[in-house]
Amino acid sequence: MARFKAVILDLDGVVTRTARLHAEAWKRLFDEYLGKRTKGETKPFDIERDYLLYVDGKPRQDGVRSFLESRGIHIPLGNHADSPDVETCHGLGNRKDGYFKEILRRRGPEVFEDAVDALEAWRQRGLKTAIASSSKNCAEIIESAGLEELFDVRVDGTHLQRWDMPGKPAPDMFLAAAKELGVKPSEAMLFEDAISGVEAGRKGEFGMVVGVARNGSADELRRAGADRVVSKLTEVSREP
């Protein structure tokens, strides 16, 4: 622990439990779209399999493209300003975002208490902290959960769009967070629950890439390159 100066964390699945809400929004989107386009002849979106495999941790437009290509469907990428009614990756991604916000405002995010305990412990030790998420709703989620004061830096989907930066498994988002914190990647621990996020951490040469296996994905995270896998963040924060 003594060799690290900062901790960078993904949001969903690490700090908050919004994956269920995202998965519901994705299923609504894809089942509606496939129902209209293929008249029920294409296999629908499977929350247990397709969410982790095609959309988890990715920018929305990349998730749309990845899943639809798995069903042999190719549509134009479009651009960020596309209406939710436009049949492009960005358009469908924006429609999914509307569905997600409906669910979020109705239910609110769940927060992992071990993440809060760990963040407080790290900050008491003088470590800098950053949240890095592909979600454009990151700020809204953190604010609604009352977590703003636990992070020195936030890099999210709005920054990816503004800076024209690729999402995971590219390491750019995490490297940007380290730069904003004023530390080298080798001086930071990265916590990720997504395979694409662990791959990004390896590519970015972070000091330690910790896989967070809250959903039984420990083996997959190790194969993706995690230096260590934990089920709770306090497993690391309580170490000397």
206, 177 contact by CB (below 8 A): no
Q: Please name every residue paired with 52 in a beta bridge, in sequence order, or none if there are none.
A: none
Tokens of 40: 């029920």
128, 6 contact by CB (below 8 A): yes
Catalytic-labelled residue, pool 12, 82, 114, 193: 12
Examine the residue annotation and report whether 10 is marked as an active-site residue of this protein: yes
H-assigned helices in the chain: 19-38, 47-50, 60-70, 89-107, 113-124, 138-145, 157-162, 172-181, 195-203, 218-224, 234-237
Catalytic positions, written as ranges: 10, 12
